[in-house]
Structure 1
Amino acid sequence: MNAAPSSDGIDATLAVALMPYLRSSRLLIAVSGGPDSTALMHAAARLGSAHPIQVATVDHRLRAEGGDEARSVGLTARALGLSHHILTWDGDKPSRGIQAAARHARYTLLAECAGRVGADTILTGHTADDQAETVLMRLLAGSGPGGLAGMRRERDLAPGMRLARPFLDIPKADLVAYCAAHGLVSARDPSNVDERFARARLRRLMPDLAAEGLSPERLRRLAARMARDEDALRDAACAAFTALRITADAVVLDAPPLAALPDAILIRVVGLALHEAGGGGAIRLERLERLVVDGLRPALVAGTAMRRTLRGILVDLNAEGVLSLRTAPPRRSPS
């Protein structure tokens, strides 16, 4: 068994993870009050930043204790010399999919706050344990390489604003140890062990899965490999989309060369085209596969026309070998 890292070792690990952001970014740190984000806030304050650090806590208004926990974070933040903002998720809450809805609301509120305070980077305390759980959840959901890549260390939230997870390679146990070493009190979110939620159920199963070989480390390694492969596939798809686009002011592609692309690339080219045409956010892989593998690919090979609609976008392959994507016309109401 590996020995637990020393307090000095944990401090150094956190410093290495944080310094790239502290040197140049205008930071808003998302702090729930749990050990991960508390360690993130404390370590950032100790190390210092090139710009004033802002802290925000989201009160989802789902638990009576949420307001007190947010105010407690504020006291700790101010004791560290940091400005603190409490963001509330007001309004009606959905009866189903509450965790996904809360996550969407949380990032929306954080992005709005970052815009108000002039931050360009939002830091969260996601850990290596969170990454392993995310990959396992997506594996069970049948995700492709993009989903199995797990959480990315950085992603864009809005133009000029990114979300970053500096502790994504650090085990949660190290952050708990950091809090203990520095006398930091952290909150406990009961939803983390509430087995109504899939993540909590899978967290309980993790030791048994690790005993069979599906360890958190192997799940994280899978995420790294999938991220590497997904990036390569995405780059190839972007290059093909650019090369085959006929006009810049509409989503129109030269279709015959698409038939030579492997399915993995063709699916991503069509996904890019749908997004460019106004098809909204992420599209489920199964729906893209049905469109491309069952519809577009056979039509390309046979040289026949095809028309399908997905996410309000008309995908139109004509007999002349031109593939166009545009907003679908409204459906006629029955007379």
Structure 2
Amino acid sequence: MLTPADIALCGLDPAGLFAPIADRKTIGLAVSGGADSLALMLLYAAWSGRKPKAIVYTVDHGLRPEARAEAAMVVAEAEKLGLSCRSLVWTGDKPVTGKQSAARSARYGLIGQAMEADGAEILLTAHHQRDQAETILMRLAHGSGVSGLGGIRTFSNVEAVSVFRPLLGVPPEALATLVARAGLSPASDPSNTDRAYERTRWRDALPGLAELGLGPDRLSKMAERLQRIDAFAAREADRFITRHGALDPLGIVRIDRTAIETADPEIKVRVIERLLAAASGGHSFFLSRIEALAGRVAAGEHFTATLAGARVLADANTIVIHREAGRVGLPTASLSPGETLVWDGRFVVAAAKAGTIGPATGLTRKAFKELTGKALSGPVAGLRTAPLLRDRRGEIAAIGSLEVGEGFSVTQIPLTS
């Protein structure tokens, strides 16, 4: 058993590490059996005083013969510590390529379902200081901007799971020492030393970088500072969009041309990225392409362009952005009474009765005016990529967020956070 002296010797303070989630009722602990996650579990068990109920989740991914035994070891050690534990199994066919990404998605999917059933509010993971350093280096090599170089966030959402990472500032060596003092033998995943993976190659490069003064501690501190800058710039972008941008009921986005031309360069890039995301329903863009588009705007060009699933039309007064049609098929779905879904990443639809939803393909300006009593103010292409809801009789109930019938509520994902 660990003693307070063992924990202090490793320079760790459970109360301080877990303070941000002390007011939660039930939390989850993601424990794979490696040294880092075992240390997370040990530290949580050693946290004295009032704390949330914890449920340990471990996943047998079936990718290695040892996976089942490792999951069983986690269950046994959790029980020794007085913690509830659920062993989850990833069944079905496994991918031949992209195993790490697929396993990650499967892991969060299984844990997310279990957390929902258990009433767990947030998942604690054991990402640590070196993980942060590796992430920053990879993103630097990939050309990330300030947001990406801020690295891993302490709080985030991953695969629809709310995640808290209390160990981001902790060196992995301290965690390994803690596990050793507890007398545990952690599992070892061979993929962690496989240089076929980019993260492993950056991990191998870290000692040399540390000799030059660029160790995990410095990189981690840089991430903290960039996260502050990122948060400030995000707030300024929100203010700018609130003042100068607009989202119409069809999902067409507009921004005042003069305002965006004269905006600070960083705000210009962020605003354009945010508007592209709102118009396309996407969330991942190449920064260099956003910067190139911002450069065309700053230069006063009049142009049309397609980027990241969105169509951009820039004239003298306004920049209009709408969902691109044709390249990626827009979704169609049946709706059941009581069902809520997010359509194309842009509209939230709540159904009180049965119906269908799909793009308003083929709808004309004349038909739009007849249905809504309003003239179409944007491009027809924008209209035809908006959602069209029909009830089970085939009657149109809504176009975009314009409700022209009963039984459906449609709202839009807002432009600002």
- TM-score range (shorter-chain normalised) is 0.7 to 0.9
* Partner in structure 1 of residue 170 of structure 2: 170
Secondary structure at the counterpart of residue 101 of structure 1: helix
Structure 2 unaligned regions, length at least 5: 328-417
Question: Is the radius of gyration larger for structure 1 or structure 2?
Answer: 2
Judged with a 3 Å threshold, the aligned counterparts in structure 2 of structure 1 residues 43 and 239 are, in CA distance, closer, same or farther, namely same
Residues matched between the structures, number: 321
Kindly indicate whether the alpha-carbon contact (under 8 Å) linking 2:6 and 2:178 is maintained by their aligned counterparts in 1: no
Measured after TM superposition, the shift of residue 185 of structure 1 is 2.8
TM-score normalized with structure 1 length:
0.87
* Partner in structure 2 of residue 284 of structure 1: 286
Q: Deviations over 1:180-200 (max 9, x none)?
A: 222233111111111111212
Structure 1 unaligned regions, length at least 5: none
* Partner in structure 2 of residue 75 of structure 1: 76
Measured after TM superposition, the shift of residue 144 of structure 1 is 1.3
Kindly indicate whether the alpha-carbon contact (under 8 Å) linking 2:32 and 2:59 is maintained by their aligned counterparts in 1: yes
Measured after TM superposition, the shift of residue 253 of structure 1 is 1.9
Mapping of 1:285-304 within 5 angstroms?
Answer: 285-293=287-295, 295-298=296-299, 301-302=300-301, 304=302
Q: Deviations over 1:21-40 (max 9, x none)?
A: 24435211100101111111
TM-score normalized with structure 2 length:
0.71
Give me the whole-angstrom Cα distance separating, in 2, the residues matched to 1:95 and 1:283.
Answer: 27
Moved more, 307-316 or 35-44: 307-316
Judged with a 3 Å threshold, the aligned counterparts in structure 2 of structure 1 residues 100 and 25 are, in CA distance, closer, same or farther, namely same
Kindly indicate whether the alpha-carbon contact (under 8 Å) linking 2:126 and 2:165 is maintained by their aligned counterparts in 1: yes
Q: 1:261 aligns with which of 254, 260, 263?
A: 263
Greater strand share, structure number: 2
Measured after TM superposition, the shift of residue 80 of structure 1 is 2.3
Measured after TM superposition, the shift of residue 132 of structure 1 is 1.1
Matched-pair identity in %: 36
Secondary structure at the counterpart of residue 185 of structure 2: coil
Mapping of 1:168-317 within 5 angstroms?
Answer: 168-247=168-247, 249=249, 250=251, 251-293=253-295, 295-298=296-299, 301-302=300-301, 304=302, 306-317=303-314
Judged with a 3 Å threshold, the aligned counterparts in structure 2 of structure 1 residues 318 and 129 are, in CA distance, closer, same or farther, namely same
Measured after TM superposition, the shift of residue 137 of structure 1 is 1.5
Q: Deviations over 1:46-69 (max 9, x none)?
A: 326643211111233221111221
Judged with a 3 Å threshold, the aligned counterparts in structure 2 of structure 1 residues 187 and 118 are, in CA distance, closer, same or farther, namely same
Give me the whole-angstrom Cα distance separating, in 1, the residues matched to 2:298 and 2:44.
Answer: 51
* Partner in structure 2 of residue 323 of structure 1: 319
Secondary structure at the counterpart of residue 85 of structure 2: strand
Give me the whole-angstrom Cα distance separating, in 1, the residues matched to 2:94 and 2:159.
Answer: 25
Matched to 1:264, the amino acid is E
Judged with a 3 Å threshold, the aligned counterparts in structure 2 of structure 1 residues 87 and 185 are, in CA distance, closer, same or farther, namely same
Give me the whole-angstrom Cα distance separating, in 2, the residues matched to 1:256 and 1:29.
Answer: 50
Secondary structure at the counterpart of residue 187 of structure 2: coil
Judged with a 3 Å threshold, the aligned counterparts in structure 2 of structure 1 residues 90 and 141 are, in CA distance, closer, same or farther, namely farther
Judged with a 3 Å threshold, the aligned counterparts in structure 2 of structure 1 residues 262 and 122 are, in CA distance, closer, same or farther, namely same
Matched to 1:35, the amino acid is A
Moved more, 49-58 or 38-47: 49-58
Secondary structure at the counterpart of residue 53 of structure 2: coil
Structure number with higher relative contact order (C-alpha < 8 Å, ≥ 6 residues apart):
1
Secondary structure at the counterpart of residue 76 of structure 1: helix
Judged with a 3 Å threshold, the aligned counterparts in structure 2 of structure 1 residues 95 and 11 are, in CA distance, closer, same or farther, namely same
Secondary structure at the counterpart of residue 213 of structure 1: coil
Give me the whole-angstrom Cα distance separating, in 2, the residues matched to 1:86 and 1:12.
Answer: 28
Matched to 2:203, the amino acid is R
Measured after TM superposition, the shift of residue 237 of structure 1 is 1.0
Measured after TM superposition, the shift of residue 158 of structure 1 is 7.5
Q: Deviations over 1:97-139 (max 9, x none)?
A: 4333333333333323222221111100111111111111212
Mapping of 1:41-60 within 5 angstroms?
Answer: 41-47=41-47, 50-60=51-61
Residue 10 (structure 2) pairs with residue 14 (structure 1): no
Q: CA RMSD in A?
A: 2.4
Measured after TM superposition, the shift of residue 96 of structure 1 is 4.1
Give me the whole-angstrom Cα distance separating, in 2, the residues matched to 1:108 and 1:217.
Answer: 32
